[in-house]
Chains A and B, each alone.
Chain A
């Protein structure tokens, strides 16, 4: 045996598969016990200096992307590839094999056999038609033992295992594509502000988006018991200053734009307020950021305003007292509920006002062109598992030998699901004993 074939044998062996799967399982446990992605200081405090250094050498703090863990995954992939190349041709041969070139001896040794002596001359045809009707592929040949009719079904189900194995490689490929061509980042955008970059999750390095995203509004809804019910952000995408897309996003309902996805992930409340004034005469509207208890002016409109007081429930402002003044009028102070418009016309001002606490929306931003591959892989895996476990390559032969009488030898075999095949086989036989007798 030469070296090449030994290496080949090693990489195609199921022993290696069992070793690799065990090794991945066992080492994976480490990362579920030792917290991942913390600072060196954290590990020193938690485990002591020596252990922390040891961890660092073995990449334990980031073990799922460490060289040795990736090597194990690489080994699994190599194993899958070599094993498939090694075995697939044989499996495929089984699918495409000429089923009519079997000797009588072979047929007699099949798992399921049945002999009918003195059969009527049409019986073989009856059987053949029954099989044809049931979707079996039929081939026929004259041999020295008689006429062989070979019927088979679901031959391609032998590829099920290979689909499962390939699906794992497709998922890995997706993960690799995501790693090299995608990114994960996050950004906090205060209401009314915009950003054209986000910050990489691991390094905090700024990443340019190539367009601008503005947060027009952020909202939280609460259940009666105070638990958050929904976070919503209205996002506007701007290309070269032009609005191209407006979308309300929620957790589980992200915004997708140019291959990037923006997920609602967190928020931050400020001690600032947003005051929106709408003129009832010219319909112009403007939103102002008003820090608590500071005066704001609407330039050119002769309006000054501010928030003089606010009531909060935990960190959430539930009512605010707004103060508005123009040079012609007495100052107005009214209590307002968040986001509810109040007309000021009774007080002699042609405006409606609405006020809310100011928030910043926390967005998770991801670009992952590999997800498509991962999903295709997942789909293939489920299809492959179904085929591998529940479908079987079934074969039935009818050997008709005509001497003094017509004798039929019916033989069958399946590579899996013996019970199911047995049922089909006996049903087939029953159908002819009925017609024959």
Chain B
């Protein structure tokens, strides 16, 4: 068994998790509730093993480095974080209804990582600039932030869906609007802190490798734009009393910015971070 097999299996287990959560939501399949959680926990463990094994394999190849250094590895870590975060939310807020809106992101990320021809799955050695512990700190912090924003976007979509069609019996089973709004906000706050840490560790790394902590390269600029969008959202909520629909929309807009920072910049624009595109 090698890491790519384990990570390949993960893609399908997350698909199955998604189906279980959708079934719970759509068909009121309450008997499946415990099974969905158990299955997702197992899927997460399989993925964890896959990531750990990939780490070990890189050492066996003599180029040992944490599996967080290219597009493929970061997408895999992104999926991992979404599931971990979702399970924490499920446990903390005692609802499985969010699963149908959060777990699909992890499946899509894994499917993209596994099947896209844009990105290479091979374990490759690191060019000198990437050999830094700051890189690991940078990737980990950014992707925890991105994963939180993905979950927040799922929650935002859930809010809008429920808000638009109030009396639908299907949607009645979703948590009350106020609760969704509250969890969305908390998830965004959590993401904001990690994104802040991500931008800071990125700046420290750039300074230690090139002597400039900030160079307005497209990726940096887009991460700042994303950061501003969430800063704006927090202020609109705290000081202008925005909540509900508007915050839900901002959660979606923010996540579009995340996707662009993460994916769009690598493939549509050019810059320092182009290592991600191979």
Which residues of A approach B to under 8 Å, CB–CB?
A: 14, 17-18, 21-22, 24-25, 28-29, 31-33, 35-36, 64, 175, 184, 223, 225, 227-231, 250-252, 254, 261, 263-265, 364-366, 368, 371, 374-375, 378, 381-382, 385-386, 389
Contacts and interface: CB of A to CB of B under 8 A. Distances in A.
Contact of A385 (B196, B225, B235): B196
B278 to A, nearest CB: 11
Contact of B131 (A24, A35, A252, A263): A252
B211 A366 contact: yes
B221 interface: yes
A279 to B, nearest CB: 36
Contact of B216 (A36, A251, A263, A371): A36
B136 to A, nearest CB: 12
Nearest to B134: A252
Given A14-B235, A365-B211, A378-B203, A385 B193 contact: yes
A75 to B, nearest CB: 14
A303 B80 CA distance: 66
Interface string B116-134: 0000000011011101100
Interface in B156-207: 189, 192-193, 196-197, 200, 203-204, 207
A379 B218 CA distance: 24
A437 to B, nearest CB: 31
Interface of B: 63, 124-125, 127-129, 131-132, 189, 192-193, 196-197, 200, 203-204, 207-214, 216, 218, 221-222, 224-225, 228-229, 231-232, 235-236, 239-240, 265, 269-270
B125 A25 contact: no
B196 A231 contact: no
Contacts of B270: 35
Contacts of A265: 210
18 contacts: A17-B235, A18-B236, A21-B231, A25-B225, A28-B225, A29-B221, A64-B216, A228-B127, A250-B128, A251-B128, A261-B211, A265-B210, A364-B210, A378-B203, A381-B196, A382-B193, A382-B197, A389-B189
B211 A368 contact: yes
A321 B2 CA distance: 46
A382 B200 contact: yes
Given A28-B221, A64-B216, A264-B128, 12 more contacts: A21-B231, A32-B221, A32-B222, A32-B265, A32-B269, A227-B125, A229-B125, A251-B209, A364-B210, A371-B213, A374-B203, A385-B192
A256 to B, nearest CB: 10
Given A25-B229, A250-B128, A371 B207 contact: yes
A366 B235 contact: no
A24 B224 CA distance: 10
B127 A252 contact: no
Nearest to A379: B200
Contacts, number: 99
A68 B182 CA distance: 38
B211 A263 contact: yes
Contacts of A32: 218, 221-222, 265, 269
Contacts of B63: 223
A25 B211 contact: no
B128 A229 contact: yes
Contacts of A364: 210-211
B275 to A, nearest CB: 12
B44 to A, nearest CB: 26
B70 to A, nearest CB: 13
Contacts of B192: 385
B203 A263 contact: no
Nearest to B261: A32
B110 to A, nearest CB: 27
B200 to A, nearest CB: 4
B143 to A, nearest CB: 18
Contact of B129 (A33, A251, A389): A251
A386 B190 CA distance: 10
A15 B61 CA distance: 56
Nearest to B190: A389
Contacts of A371: 207, 213
Contacts of A229: 125, 128
Given A28-B224, A375-B204, A381-B200, A227 B211 contact: no
A337 to B, nearest CB: 21
Contacts of A223: 63, 125
A201 B209 CA distance: 16
Contacts of B208: 252, 254
Contact of A18 (B212, B213, B232, B269): B232
B124 to A, nearest CB: 7
B212 A31 contact: no
A213 to B, nearest CB: 15
Contacts of B189: 389
B210 to A, nearest CB: 6
Contacts of A263: 209-211
A128 B221 CA distance: 53
Contacts of B132: 252
B225 A184 contact: no
Contacts of A24: 228
Contacts of A366: 211-212
B212 A378 contact: no
Contacts of A368: 211
Contacts of A382: 193, 196-197, 200
Given A32-B269, A251-B131, A254-B208, A374 B213 contact: yes
Contact of A29 (B127, B131, B225, B231): B225
B232 A21 contact: yes
A381 B9 CA distance: 41
Nearest to B219: A32
Q: Which of A175, A250, A365, A381 has the most CB of B within 10 A?
A: A381
A28 B235 CA distance: 20
